[in-house]
Amino acid sequence: MIVLNKADLVSKAQLAQVSDQLSILNPRALVLPCENSKINVMKVVDTSLYKALDFAGLHRDDVEEEEGKMKDCCKAKVAVGELPCCRSKRTHDSGKSKVVVAHNRASKPDTAGNSQKPRHASRFGITSFIYQARRPFHPERFDSDFVQKYFVFQSKDGDDEEEDEEEDAQVKGKKKLSKAELQKEEERKKELAIMKQQTKAKTQQGLRMQEFGELIRSKGFLWLANRHDMCGMMSHAGSVIGIEFNSPWVVLERRAWQGTETELAAVRNNWVDPWGDRRQDLVFIGKDLRHDAIQKVLDGCLLTDEEMKLGIDGWKATMGDILLESALEGGDSDEEEE
């Protein structure tokens, strides 16, 4: 079974083309197109579609060896609060952030006794690294110098609302359309929007390839100065990026301050004073990645030393406060209703 996500980002013809290619690669699989990974769970549970004999002739890669027990030298480093030897050698500290490059450790020797690279690296050239920082991003710099410059931002609320309303007004001004004509017009607009987005994505893909290498996927925790109390979740695949702020940082939750020492220690796993668990913690996955270039761009989005000295009130005064703005907007609408 194959779940074909993000079907809303391609045209019907493109979706059919991808489906045809999948049927060539795996003709036995049931393909389920969807948007935002939303599918009917009954279509994927207890289907009895898997048949072991269908895969009997396929080559099976050895599973990559786990890290195993930590070496004595690494244990000694950890005991004094430092990074394990293997991790410190892969850590690049810019003074503002740290990039930890994934190990290129060899896995178990093959039957001929040759050491093998991890399977994702040997088969596809895929590598990864983690970007970590303990200061917030400036909301405007992060948006202009990273999000808008290199990706297509996907908003659940819809970014082209005003443009759509203007088009609707023009169409309605010409003549009253039938239901079939309205549906056709909606499909036309959707196709045009997809083509426009794909054109922009292609340009940004070229820029990403040129500066970063082939960046395939990134995801993690995000801290913006104008959303100081809310934990951001960034997720990118291909050219599309999405950012959500659905919950507060753990430092603001009751469980971070009430409980036994053992319970508090577990909750404060990513704790660094004075900000608690607020942090940038992003993993990047791709091919021939230039982690130094990505680190440089993201470091430029972080608050400077002077901006850090402003403190929370200073950030709100100079960069805004999303939570306060939302509360005020809600208050205005309530007053209008009254």
The residue-averaged pLDDT of 234-260 equals 91
Compute CA 92 distance to the chain's CA centroid, rounded to the nearest angstrom. 22
| Distance, CA of 76 to CA of 83 (rounded, Å) | 10
> Range with the lowest mean pLDDT among 56-70, 145-159, 236-250, 291-305?
56-70
CA atoms within 13 A on the CB side of 147: 19
Convert the pLDDT of each residue in 176-222 to its tens digit.
Answer: 778 787 888 888 888 888 788 778 888 888 899 999 999 989 999 99
Q: Residues 50, 61: contact at Cβ < 8 Å?
A: no
Per-residue model confidence (pLDDT) at position 17: 84
When pLDDT is cut at 50, 70 and 90, the band that residue 137 belongs to is very high
* Structural fold of domain 82-107+115-155+211-330: Hypothetical Protein Yjia; Chain: A;domain 2 (3.30.1220)
DSSP3 helix / strand / coil % (the chain, rounded to 5)? 45, 20, 35
Q: Environment class of residue 69 by beta-carbon count within 10 Å: exposed (0-12), middle (13-18) or buried (19+)? A: exposed
Q: Which of 52-56, 154-158, 170-174 has the highest mean pLDDT?
A: 52-56
Which residues, at least 6 apart from 333, have a Cβ–Cβ distance to it below 8 Å?
none
**24-40 mean pLDDT:** 85
pLDDT greater at residue 236 or residue 70:
236
